[in-house]
Amino acid sequence: MLETIASVKQQHFRVRFRTSRELSDAVRFEPTSVVRRNKIILVYISSFDKNVQPGGTVGRSDSQGNRLPYEVLFKVMSFLDLKSLYRCGRVCRTFNQIVAVNSLLYAEVNLKPYWNCVSTALLSSLMKRCAYTKKLDLSWCGSFNKLTATDFKDFLSVCGSNLTHLRLNSCKFLTTGSCLESIGSHCFENLRELTLQNYHPEQEDFSGLYYFRNLERLDLNRTTINTQSLLIVLARNEHLRHLNLAFCSMDVNMDDIALQISKYNRKLISLDMWKSHSLTSLGLEALSKCTLLEEVDFGWCLREEPSPGESVRLLVKACPRLRKLFMAAIRGLTDRDLEVIASSCENLEQLDLMGIMGISTEMCYRILCRCPKLKLLDVSFCDNLDNLQIALWRDCFDVAIKRSFVDFGAPRGSEF
């Protein structure tokens, strides 16, 4: 544990764990990996090391912690991840008083890397430390029945009033016990971001969202929300900047939603409607009133529209700030539509044209020439493009060009 403390002085140290193996390796730092800029901390830790007894316990040197100001120790602790903070609390009383008492160390709590370890006991422990927590990420937590709806609601009753960001993606414990109602009643005043990906409550009641008035980011990707509930939420949150409605319930009328957005949420910056099959040209025309849009995803929308190009052109012309434009599998688009993109989107960085059959090699080349900020172009499964020309583009332009296609002469399942 002392070795972990010694390594804390690396600049802006924050650990990001992907696997349990990385998690175990992260606590095996060598004391030689310290940064020597802060000689006071180095002297303190080296003197502390001398008092560690062979069994790994600390001797009478607990008073060594008093040699450094509380503020310095707090600054060092602020660079630690959650697991290291808990381990520091077991080193000595001085460290424990900082780690266990000072709630400012827990202003941001991300439990997603430890999703398989989060339990009732851990949440109860955090409840005593998260009085000032602003950002909480519980995504993926609650598997294997280690966390219940009651545990979560108890936590919110104590720590929910200060939350500004709450991420609850794929949390199974949310599906029971009216958790959404508790979120609304405890967090409505300050919450700015709420993500609920893959939220499928047993009783399809989204009235808990009606409490919110100040949301700036709302992620309802793959949820079962209904049209009426979503209309109410949009009308009550006029400050929305980022909205994700990708692959929502098939019952949602996206044209009605688009009309509501054009009326109440014109300050939107990003909008994701991927696989919203009910979206038509009518909804797309309404969205053209949101002139601040920078990122839009209409992939796999407008599938039944014979000629969606006019509404697409209207949207592109009305939104000069567009940086990311995803239009995968909108089969009705043509070179005429791409011409408007090339002439209107000088800030474009990413363009997805996957599966669009009616575009030519020449028009894609024109986009590459006229969009100097372009970083990614996806022309996969666009059958009418010249593969030799695309290979030359990769050498001429500093753009990542994604190109996949099916070779019908190759064995089944082969893609290039």
Model confidence band, residue 177 (pLDDT cutoffs 50, 70, 90)? confident
Largest CA distance in the chain: 81
DSSP letter for each residue of 275-333: T-TT--HHHHHHHTT-TT--EEE-TT-STT-S-THHHHHHHHHH-TT--EEE-TT-TT-
What rounded mean pLDDT belongs to the chain? 86
Count of beta carbons in the 10 Å neighbourhood of residue 17: 18
**Mean pLDDT, residues 186-211:** 95
DSSP letter for each residue of 119-158: -HHHHHHHHTT-TT--EEE-TTTTGGGSS-HHHHHHHHHH
* C-beta separation of 214 from 236 below 8 A: no
- In this predicted structure, what is the pLDDT of residue 27? 38
Mean pLDDT lowest among 10-24, 144-158, 199-213 = 10-24
What are the boundaries of each domain within the chain?
Answer: 2-101, 104-204
Mean pLDDT lowest among 55-64, 136-145, 222-231, 328-337 = 55-64
**Which amino acid is residue 283, in one-letter code?**
G
What is the rounded CA–CA span in Å between residue 361 and residue 300?
22
3-state secondary structure of 109: strand
Q: Is the pLDDT of residue 164 over 90?
A: yes
Model confidence band, residue 210 (pLDDT cutoffs 50, 70, 90)? very high
* C-beta separation of 65 from 95 below 8 A: yes
Encoded tokens for 61: 């040197």
- In this predicted structure, what is the pLDDT of residue 67? 75
What is the rounded CA–CA span in Å between residue 259 and residue 257?
5
pLDDT digits (tens, 9 = 90+) for 228-251: 999 999 999 999 999 999 999 989
pLDDT digits (tens, 9 = 90+) for 92-149: 888 888 888 899 999 999 999 999 999 999 999 999 999 999 999 999 999 888 999 9
- In this predicted structure, what is the pLDDT of residue 304? 82
Vertex 182: Cα angle to 200 and 274 (nearest 5): 35
Give the percent of the chain with pLDDT over 70. Answer: 82
The dihedrals phi and psi of 341, each to the nearest 5 degrees, come to -60, -45
DSSP state of 261: H
- In this predicted structure, what is the pLDDT of residue 58? 46
The structure's pTM equals 0.83
* C-beta separation of 105 from 77 below 8 A: yes
The dihedrals phi and psi of 371, each to the nearest 5 degrees, come to -115, 85
**Residue of 58 and 393 predicted with greater confidence:** 393
